[in-house]
């Protein structure tokens, strides 16, 4: 069996791709060498800048559709194997913030590059929340999108079960 296909079904080995602007390519290569490729870099970025990147993404003007990176940046595609739970956190944070996964990771990379070496000593823990709650709805009368993302630290691990309703005959 092909190893690439086999590993995609295992949650610990998520198949991932990122679009990196050419202007950041050399900086990203340096960070990849320091932290063990994109796989190691993603975990580091989540620990250091996950919540700050979400706050930055939420300051962008609201849109009904997902916000992607600007066109005309000469984007370079990078494939890698991400740690499953880290990739899941990136997806949840990006979706709750209304931006694409690639854009959220680029925001985290820019935050990492903007820090001074003294600031980079802290490592932090990987987002200590147990559950992400995300809701979004569109009000057609007001022509507005409403998006609510909450992170719960002490939420039950199993979550709430759906209520069963009996059908009227």
pLDDT (tens digit, 9 = 90+) per residue, 96-107? Answer: 888 899 999 999
Residue 163 lies in a domain: no
Q: 12 lies in a domain?
A: yes
- The reply to whether 136 falls in a domain is no
- This prediction has a pTM of 0.71
For residue 15, being part of any structural domain is answered with: yes
Residue 141 lies in a domain: no
Residue 140 included in any domain:
no
Q: Say if 39 falls within a structural domain.
A: yes
Q: What is the mean pLDDT of residues 97-119?
A: 84
SS3 37: helix
Cα 75 to Cα 69, 109, 152, 158, 166, distances in angstroms: 9, 15, 35, 40, 52
**Number of domains into which the chain is organized:** 1
- CA 164 to the chain's CA centroid: 33
pLDDT of residue 50 exceeding 70, the answer is yes
CA distance 135 to 156: 18
Percent of the chain's residues with pLDDT above 90: 27
Confirm whether 45 is domain-assigned: yes
Full domain range(s) for residue 94: 3-123
Listed in sequence order, the residues at least 6 apart from 120 whose beta carbon sits closer than 8 Å to its beta carbon are 48, 112
């Amino acid at each position: 069996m092909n190893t690439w296909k086999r590993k995609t079904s295992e949650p610990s080995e998520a198949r991932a791709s990122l679009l990196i602007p050419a202007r950041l390519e050399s900086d990203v290569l340096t960070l990849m060498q320091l932290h063990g490729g994109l796989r190691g870099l993603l975990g580091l970025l989540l620990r250091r800048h996950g919540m700050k990147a979400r706050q930055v993404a939420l300051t962008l003007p609201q849109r009904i559709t997902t916000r992607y990176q600007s066109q005309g940046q000469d984007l370079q595609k990078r494939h890698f194997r991400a740690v499953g739970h880290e990739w899941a956190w990136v997806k949840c944070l990006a979706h709750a913030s209304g931006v694409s996964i690639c854009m959220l990771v680029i925001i985290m990379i820019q935050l990492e590059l903007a820090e001074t070496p003294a600031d980079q000593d802290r490592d932090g823990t990987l987002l200590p929340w147990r559950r992400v709650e995300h809701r979004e709805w569109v009000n057609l009368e007001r022509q507005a999108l409403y998006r609510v993302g909450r992170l719960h630290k002490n939420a039950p691990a199993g979550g709430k079960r759906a209520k069963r309703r009996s059908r009227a005959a």
